[in-house]
Amino acid sequence: MVFGNRPPEGIRSRNETVTPTRPETEPAMSEQTKTDRVIIFDTTLRDGEQSPGISLDAGEKLEIAEQLARLGVDYIEAGFPIASQGDFEAVHAIASSIEGPTICGLSRTAHKDIDRCWEAIEPAAQRRIHTFIATSPTHMEHKLKMSPAQVLAEATSAVTRAREYTDDVEFSPEDASRSDFDFMCDVLQAAVDAGAGTLNIPDTVGFATPVEWAARIRAIRERVSGNYVLSTHCHNDLGLAVANSLAAVEAGARQVECTINGIGERAGNAAMEEIVMAIRTRPDTYADIEVDIRTEELAKSSRIVSRLTGYPVQYNKAVVGRNAFAHEAGIHQHGVLNERTTYEIMDPAAVGQGESQLVLGKHSGRAAFRDALQKLGHDIQGDALNAAFTRFKELADRKVQLSDADLEALAIEELGGSIDHAYEFVSLDVRGGNLSTPSADLVMRVDGEEVSASCEGDGMVDASCTAIKQATGAEGRMTDYNVTSVTGGVDALADVALTFESNDGVKVSGRGLSTDVVEASARAFIGALNKIARIRESGEDPNAVDRPGHIG
Q: Which residues bind Zn ion (CB under 5 A)?
A: 47
Q: How many CA atoms lie within 13 A of 518 on its CB side?
A: 22
> Stretches 91-99, 200-208, 380-388, 532-540: which one binds ligand KIV (CB under 6 A)?
200-208
Q: How many CA atoms lie within 13 A of 166 on its CB side?
A: 29
Which C-beta is closer to Zn ion: that of 47 or that of 274?
Answer: 47
Backbone phi and psi for residue 268, each to the nearest 5 degrees, phi listed first: 100, -175
**From 109, 126, 157, 172, residue interacting with ligand KIV (rule: CB under 6 A):** 172
Min. distance of Cβ 144 from ligand KIV in angstroms?
A: 13
**From 20, 48, 105, 202, residue interacting with ligand KIV (rule: CB under 6 A):** 202
Does 183 help bind ligand KIV (rule: CB under 6 A)? no
| C-beta separation of 325 from 347 below 8 A | no
Pattern 519-548, ligand KIV, x by CB under 6 A: ------------------------------
* Footprint (CB under 6 A) of ligand KIV, residues 84-113: 106
> Stretches 196-204, 209-217, 286-294, 372-380: which one binds ligand KIV (CB under 6 A)?
196-204
Which stretches within 52-147 are classed as H helix? 58-71, 85-97, 111-121, 137-138
What 3-state class would DSSP assign to 139?
Answer: helix
Which C-beta is closer to Zn ion: that of 207 or that of 423?
Answer: 207
Give whole-number Cα distances, 457 to 230, 414, 451, 461, 466, in Å: 71, 35, 19, 8, 7
> Stretches 19-27, 66-74, 198-206, 425-433: which one binds ligand KIV (CB under 6 A)?
198-206
Which C-beta is closer to Zn ion: that of 47 or that of 371?
Answer: 47
Give the residue closest to Zn ion by C-beta: 47
Which C-beta is closer to Zn ion: that of 130 or that of 334?
Answer: 130
Indicate the angle between helix axes 404-415 and 366-375, nearest 10 degrees: 100
Rg of the Cα trace of the chain? 31
Return d(Cα 189, Cα 196) in angstroms, integer. 9
**From 116, 218, 233, 507, residue interacting with ligand KIV (rule: CB under 6 A):** 233
Does 132 help bind ligand KIV (rule: CB under 6 A)? yes
Give whole-number Cα distances, 354 to 133, 321, 329, 351, in Å: 43, 12, 20, 8
Return d(Cα 459, Cα 464) in angstroms, integer. 9
Min. distance of Cβ 131 from ligand KIV in angstroms?
A: 9
**From 44, 135, 204, 439, residue interacting with ligand KIV (rule: CB under 6 A):** 204
Return d(Cα 264, Cα 58) in angstroms, integer. 18
Give whole-number Cα distances, 391 to 187, 385, 404, in Å: 69, 10, 15
Strand 439-446 and strand 449-456: the pairing is: antiparallel
Which C-beta is closer to ligand KIV: that of 106 or that of 291?
Answer: 106
* Footprint (CB under 6 A) of ligand KIV, residues 33-62: 47
The listed partner (ligand KIV, Zn ion, none) that binds 172, CB under 5 to 8 Å by sort, is: ligand KIV
Does 171 help bind ligand KIV (rule: CB under 6 A)? no
Does 174 help bind ligand KIV (rule: CB under 6 A)? yes
Q: Residue count at the site for ligand KIV (CB under 6 A)?
A: 10
Chain contacts with ligand KIV (rule: CB under 6 A): 47, 106, 132, 172, 174, 200, 202, 204, 233, 235
